[in-house]
Chains A and B, each alone.
Chain A
Amino acid sequence: MTANSTWLLSDLPPLRRSSISRSTRLVMPRLPDVAREYDGGNTTGFVSPAGDSLEGPIDLSEVLDLRRPHRYPVRVKGDALLERGIQHGDILIADAAASPAAGQVVIAMIHGDVLVCQLAYRCGQWWLKPSGADKEPQPVADEAEIWAVVAALVRTSV
């Protein structure tokens, strides 16, 4: 893991310990008061003038809506979608609830492959639009094959 990526890790929710019946409960262990960290408000001498205005760090899992049931992270393999700004190793945030539209980048599960590619609509039918001239467009037989629509992108090192 590179130093660049650690900031993102800390913002991801500790999903592995989540449990359905206690989804609203704090999953990180509660810190005892003695170990509470300084957050700009809890000074020992002069009262902090910022005490009423604490906002905390930006929560990227909130921005990316990662706690919602329809959001799935997907890792990209290959550089075929460079023209859409998608590189090998990027993390895509796929949205399974969004309805697909022509021109969008989607995750498709077709003939046993998991593909990320652009979607087109021609002659009353969905097609996967290939990125290179050497490949033929592929018809989407069933809408279920469009697994999710790509909604956001995370790159942990630039």
Chain B
Amino acid sequence: MGRCRRPGPNQRVGTMPIFGLIDGNSFYCSCEAAFDPTLFGQAVVVLSNNDGCAIARSAGAKALGIKMGDPWHLVRSKRELCGVHWFSSNYPLYADLSRRIYQVLTDRVPRVEPYSIDEMFLDLTALPGNLFERCRQIRADVLRIAKIPTCLGWGPTKTIAKLANSIAKHEPGLLGLCDLTNPAVRAAYYARLPAAEVWGIGSRTAEKLERAGVTTIADFVAMDSKTLRDLLTVVGARIQAELLGVSCLPLSLMAPTRKGIAVTRSFGHPVTTWQELREAVAAYASRAGEKLRTEGLQACHMAVFLQTNPHKPDENWHSGQRAGRIEPTSDSMTLIREALRMLRPLWRGGHRYFKAGVILSDLVLARDQPAMLFAVTDPVKSAKIMTALDAVNARYGRGTLRPLATGIERTWSTRHDRLSPRYTTSLKEMLVATAW
């Protein structure tokens, strides 16, 4: 960190690296519209888990004044919002379209870094032909194949590419493309954009800069390195170098190994009985086990917490947390047993619980784990049962076969009242076309 990248052995000295950043416009809303032509050009909102807040808004919804994070149950009754189409978040669909975008990109550029579900960094260094034309084509191909409208910006560093992407998004005249490889073009934008637009400069940092008389990006890149380091440490110095065209952040192609797995959800309605709470936490523990097994990991440490609704001050507030080491395992049954053991002393009757969670940490690769001499769970038997469990659920859908402790009715489960079909991942929910 902080050290700038030296040209590697396979990078020609003298070739300026070019990074691109492509991201989906209102990604979740675009995913919904990709399979539903009645949504084209409409106001669309996608809500967070439990149908709580707006987490994605189409251009039409933004125009109606819906803000990111607006609590939907409070704003939906406004008269001007009655025509808004709203959806619960359909993550299987979004993940599949993100996968498609990634594949379209890897077919067209040498290296792609999936930075988030809707943003990918591209290596556009030393590609033959006209770069602008190529980028225009990439954007058109993503729209035609993955059905998602995007913006694409590029420049000599990741930070500049990110800025170019944001310019492409906010200036409709650019048709979704912005080239910041030319220093003169960059200088013109730097002079009129606020420093807070830069990737890595948050609102707190921006305030600090403003007190030092730095408002635009041009002011920021003109700061002398001593003042900058005193104010924002080496992190600030790296952002400045990146903005000046010196690449410090290489493309990372490997997702870092997981440090922990958290399954925390708010309930569909306040939970008041031990029975419901126990089921919910067992279900979270079981889900955490599934996640461990798909990555071939085992957990050695577990934490369990629960809390009442912090946004309802008139209700009696209670929260609790317990953590401890557990026998290294990825067995759902063991995880459920441990989670309930920790949960029991946390439970107090008479409270309306709003949220609970299971957090696993100290993860180790299952294959590197030496056998335990006095293990409670028989590892061979456990592996067989879990393999069978996962195989059934992979084939017939998640939750087909599950521990009884996780409940049958699941009255506590997360609300998602308006879920669109899983068009691309479920045999039963495929896109339907009428023969004409």
Q: A residues touching B (Cβ–Cβ < 8 Å)?
A: 9-10, 12, 14-23, 27-32, 34-35, 68-70, 72-81, 86, 88, 91-92, 96-97, 107, 109-117, 128, 130-131, 135, 147
Jot down 8 A-B pairs with beta carbons below 8 A, ordered by A: A23-B99, A27-B294, A70-B104, A75-B431, A76-B433, A77-B432, A107-B431, A112-B38
Nearest Cβ on chain B to A40's Cβ, whole angstroms: 21
Nearest Cβ on chain B to A151's Cβ, whole angstroms: 13
Nearest A residue (CB) for B394? A14
Q: B433 to A34, Cβ gap below 8 A?
A: no
Nearest A residue (CB) for B383? A32
The listed residue with most B CB atoms (<10 A of its CB), out of A69, A112, A128, is A69
CA distance A75 to B145 in the complex (A): 19
| Contact status of A88 and B435, CB under 8 A, knowing A15-B96, A16-B426 | yes
CA distance A72 to B117 in the complex (A): 20
Nearest A residue (CB) for B99? A20
Q: A69 to B104, Cβ gap below 8 A?
A: yes
Q: B99 to A18, Cβ gap below 8 A?
A: yes
Residues of A within 8 A of B40 (CB): 109, 112
Sorted nearest first, the 6 A-B pairs with minimum C-beta distance are A69-B100, A80-B435, A109-B37, A69-B103, A116-B433, A78-B435
Main secondary structure of the interface of B (DSSP, over half): helix
| Contact status of A131 and B436, CB under 8 A, knowing A20-B98, A110-B37 | yes
Nearest Cβ on chain B to A114's Cβ, whole angstroms: 5
CA distance A107 to B104 in the complex (A): 21
Q: B434 to A114, Cβ gap below 8 A?
A: yes
CA distance A129 to B318 in the complex (A): 65
CA distance A29 to B425 in the complex (A): 19
The listed residue with most B CB atoms (<10 A of its CB), out of A17, A29, A147, is A29
Q: B431 to A35, Cβ gap below 8 A?
A: no
Q: A97 to B144, Cβ gap below 8 A?
A: yes
- Per-residue CB contact flags for chain B residues 277-317 toward chain A (1 = under 8 Å, else 0) read 00000000000000001101000000000000000000000
Nearest A residue (CB) for B112? A20
Q: Which of B10-18, B70-78, B384-392, B409-417 contacts A (4 or more CB under 8 A)?
A: B384-392
Partner of A117 from the list B147, B255, B436 (CB cut-off 8 Å) is B436
Residues of A within 8 A of B101 (CB): 69
Nearest Cβ on chain B to A20's Cβ, whole angstroms: 5
Residues of B within 8 A of A113 (CB): 37, 434
Q: Is B427 at the interface (CB under 8 A from chain A)?
A: yes
Residues of B within 8 A of A19 (CB): 95, 99
Q: A69 to B436, Cβ gap below 8 A?
A: no
Residues of B within 8 A of A35 (CB): 384, 387
Partner of A116 from the list B96, B255, B434 (CB cut-off 8 Å) is B434
CA distance A116 to B436 in the complex (A): 6
Q: A29 to B390, Cβ gap below 8 A?
A: yes
CA distance A71 to B147 in the complex (A): 12
Nearest Cβ on chain B to A79's Cβ, whole angstroms: 7
Residues of A within 8 A of B296 (CB): 30
Nearest Cβ on chain B to A68's Cβ, whole angstroms: 7
Q: B114 to A20, Cβ gap below 8 A?
A: yes
Q: Is B4 at the interface (CB under 8 A from chain A)?
A: no
Q: B432 to A96, Cβ gap below 8 A?
A: no
Nearest B residue (CB) for A150? B433
| Given A20-B114, A35-B387, A78-B434: 20 more A-B contacts, CB < 8 Å | A14-B394, A18-B99, A29-B293, A29-B386, A31-B387, A32-B383, A34-B384, A69-B101, A69-B145, A69-B146, A70-B145, A75-B431, A76-B435, A78-B435, A79-B435, A80-B434, A86-B435, A96-B147, A110-B37, A131-B436
- Per-residue CB contact flags for chain B residues 393-436 toward chain A (1 = under 8 Å, else 0) read 01101100000000000000000000000111111001111111
Q: Is B102 at the interface (CB under 8 A from chain A)?
A: yes
Q: B430 to A114, Cβ gap below 8 A?
A: no
Residues of B within 8 A of A75 (CB): 430-433
Partner of B95 from the list A18, A109, A131 (CB cut-off 8 Å) is A18
| Contact status of A114 and B96, CB under 8 A, knowing A16-B422, A73-B430 | no
Partner of B436 from the list A9, A22, A97, A135 (CB cut-off 8 Å) is A135
Q: Is B371 at the interface (CB under 8 A from chain A)?
A: no
